């Protein structure tokens, strides 16, 4: 008997039905966990039987259906780690990212004019190398004069010409970094990053950080970032006139919008836009986004915006700002910690508090 993909899909639909019934019923938590464990073990058994029947094949792959049901179950209850013995939690999270990438690739199929063939591209590059001063319009006119088909438009030709953008000089880099260092107490930085959900939707996270203290002033999650929403988040981040002198941001259309720029001007904040494709000009925002990804979002699969927002708020306010030390501020925390009296190791009693269901722990001295 061959384990077909329809069996896994049936098992997945059954799990969704059971979960929905659990939400409506008044069954206790123990019974709910037993149901989920049963579904998980059945899926693993089906996968093991499927691999046993395919043992003669050279390469054995995990079926997409098994990946889907594993991702779904692991997201519902982290305690299923103990019964998911075939694969580690990191593997299940990697599966979710792969499934999201495939889903996004299908939705991101380019529409419009077909791409020009490689022979036409080679001809464009040849003409450009022979005449480097010619503009895309001039090359387009040569194609028309010589009656070469297909004749690409000037905008299409410009896409394939090498960019002559000069990199910043060492003096320019030093000058900009000196500005950041001298005005760090008056600078905030902002940027967006995205996180995929269990159902393959995209959530957008706004992060605002203070340069000098490394404190995350505000973090928020949305499914549809707009200029109006971003302005409201900055109002929430600047109560009682607590505003920076400078705000560093990239060339995102939201930050460049008239509404957002008017808000900065009326609030007395000077906008400092980074150059195109120059993430080094916004180093603190880029670094903190990398930190959040490595320490939080790489370990979770959020259901929706509220779920992710709750986790990030807990991480920022219960761990990052208050207990996580930073080398850039001499091993201190963004919000200064209380000063504890000096004690020997044998006399020290620590109290620990879990953060994000035990992903991290914070410590304080017991009196």
Q: Tell me, what's the pLDDT at 267?
A: 94
Q: Which residue has the tokens 């419009």?
A: 112
Q: Tell me, what's the pLDDT at 293?
A: 95
Which carries the bigger pLDDT value, residue 145 or residue 80? 145
Of 112-116, 201-205, 307-311, the poorest mean pLDDT is in 112-116
Longest Cα separation, the chain: 89
Q: What are phi and psi of 12, to 5 degrees?
A: -65, -45
pLDDT band at 357 (very low <50, low <70, confident <90, very high): confident
Of 104-118, 269-283, 326-340, the poorest mean pLDDT is in 104-118
Q: Tell me, what's the pLDDT at 13?
A: 56
Section 132-156 average pLDDT: 89
Task: Look at strands 187-196 and 202-210 and give their pairing.
Answer: antiparallel
pLDDT at 324 over 70: yes
Of 8-17, 93-102, 230-239, 255-264, the poorest mean pLDDT is in 8-17
The pair of three-digit structure tokens given for residue 72, joined into one six-digit string: 């779904």
Highest mean pLDDT among 1-5, 89-93, 178-182: 178-182
C-alpha atoms less than 13 angstroms from C-alpha of 117 in its C-beta half-sphere: 5
Of 77-86, 196-205, 282-291, 344-353, the poorest mean pLDDT is in 77-86
Average pLDDT value for the chain: 82
pLDDT at 135 over 70: yes
Q: Which residues contact 319 (CB under 8 A, 6 or more apart)?
A: 355, 356, 360, 362
pLDDT band at 287 (very low <50, low <70, confident <90, very high): very high
pLDDT at 45 over 90: no
How many C-beta neighbours within 10 Å does residue 176 have? 17
Instruction: Give the C-alpha distances (Å, rounded to integers) separating 115 from 148, 154, 246, 352.
Output: 16, 14, 43, 59
Residues 290-314 pLDDT 10s: 999 999 999 888 889 999 999 999 9
pLDDT band at 58 (very low <50, low <70, confident <90, very high): very low
Which carries the bigger pLDDT value, residue 359 or residue 18? 359
Closest CA to 245 of 297, 305, 179: 179
Closest CA to 220 of 313, 302, 322: 313
Q: Is the dihedral of CA 107, 113, 116, 121 positive or negative?
A: negative
Exposure b/e, 186-221, CB count within 10 A at least 16 = b: ebbbbbbbebbbbeeeebbbbbbbbbbbbbbbbbbb
Section 111-128 average pLDDT: 84
HEC per residue, the chain: CCCCHHHHHHHHHHHHHHHHHHHHCCCCHHHHHHHHHHHHHHHHHHHHHHHHHCCCCCCCCCCHHHHHHHHHHHHHCHHHHHCCCCCCHHHHHHHHHHHHHHHHHHHCCCCCCCCCCHHHHHHHHHHHHHCCCCCHHHHHHHHHHCCCCCCCCHHHHHHHCCCCCCCCCHHHHHHHHHHHHHCHHHEEEEEEEEEECCCCCEEEEEEEEECCCCCEEEEEEECCCCHHHHHHHHHHHCHHHCCCCEEEECCCHHHHCHHHHHHHHHHCCEEEECCCCCHHHCHHHHHHHHHHHHHCHHHCCCCCHHHHHHHHHHHHHHHHCCCCCEHHHCCECCCCCCCCCCCCHHHCCEEEEEECCCCEEEEEECC
Q: Tell me, what's the pLDDT at 26?
A: 54
Section 76-91 average pLDDT: 60
Q: Which residue has the tokens 């008017």?
A: 262
pLDDT band at 52 (very low <50, low <70, confident <90, very high): low
CATH number for the domain formed by residue range(s) 170-329: 3.30.420.10
Q: What are phi and psi of 239, to 5 degrees?
A: -80, 155
Q: What are phi and psi of 222, to 5 degrees?
A: -150, 160
pLDDT at 336 over 60: yes
pLDDT at 67 over 70: no
Q: Tell me, what's the pLDDT at 1?
A: 41
**312: buried, middle or exposed (CB in 10 Å: 19+, 13-18, 0-12)?**
buried
Q: Tell me, what's the pLDDT at 12?
A: 57
């Amino acid at each position: 008997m061959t384990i077909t993909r329809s069996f896994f899909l049936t098992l997945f639909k059954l799990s969704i039905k059971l979960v929905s019934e659990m939400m409506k019923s008044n069954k206790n938590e123990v019974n709910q966990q037993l149901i989920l464990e049963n579904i998980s073990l059945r899926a693993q058994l089906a996968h093991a039987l499927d691999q046993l029947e395919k043992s003669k094949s050279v390469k054995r792959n995990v079926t997409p259906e098994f990946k889907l049901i594993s991702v779904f179950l692991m997201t519902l209850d982290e305690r299923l780690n103990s019964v998911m013995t075939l694969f580690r939690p990191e593997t299940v999270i990697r599966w979710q990212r792969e499934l999201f990438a495939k889903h996004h690739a299908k939705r991101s199929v380019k529409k419009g004019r077909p791409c020009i063939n490689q022979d036409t591209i080679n001809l464009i590059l040849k003409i450009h190398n022979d005449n480097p001063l010619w503009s895309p319009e001039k090359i387009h006119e040569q194609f028309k004069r010589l009656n070469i088909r297909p004749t690409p438009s000037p905008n299409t030709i410009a896409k394939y010409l090498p960019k002559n953008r000069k990199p910043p000089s060492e003096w320019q880099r030093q000058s900009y970094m000196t500005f950041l260092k001298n005005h760090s107490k008056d600078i905030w930085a902002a940027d967006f990053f995205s996180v995929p959900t269990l159902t393959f939707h995209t959530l957008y996270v706004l992060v605002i950080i203070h340069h000098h203290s490394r404190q995350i002033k505000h973090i928020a999650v949305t499914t549809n970032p707009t200029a109006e929403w971003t302005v409201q988040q900055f109002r929430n981040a600047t109560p009682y006139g607590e505003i920076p002198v400078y705000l560093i941001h990239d060339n995102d259309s939201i930050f460049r919008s008239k509404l957002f720029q008017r808000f900065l001007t009326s609030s007395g904040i000077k906008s400092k836009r980074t150059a195109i494709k120059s993430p080094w000009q916004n180093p603190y925002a880029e670094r903190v986004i990398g930190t959040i990804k490595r320490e939080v979002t790489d370990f979770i699969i959020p259901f929706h915006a509220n779920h992710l927002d709750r986790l990030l708020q807990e991480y920022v306010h219960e761990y990052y700002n208050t207990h996580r030390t930073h080398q850039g501020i001499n091993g201190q925390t963004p919000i200064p910690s209380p000063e504890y009296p000096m004690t020997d190791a044998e006399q020290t009693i620590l109290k620990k508090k879990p953060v994000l269901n035990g992903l991290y722990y914070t410590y304080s001295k017991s009196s």
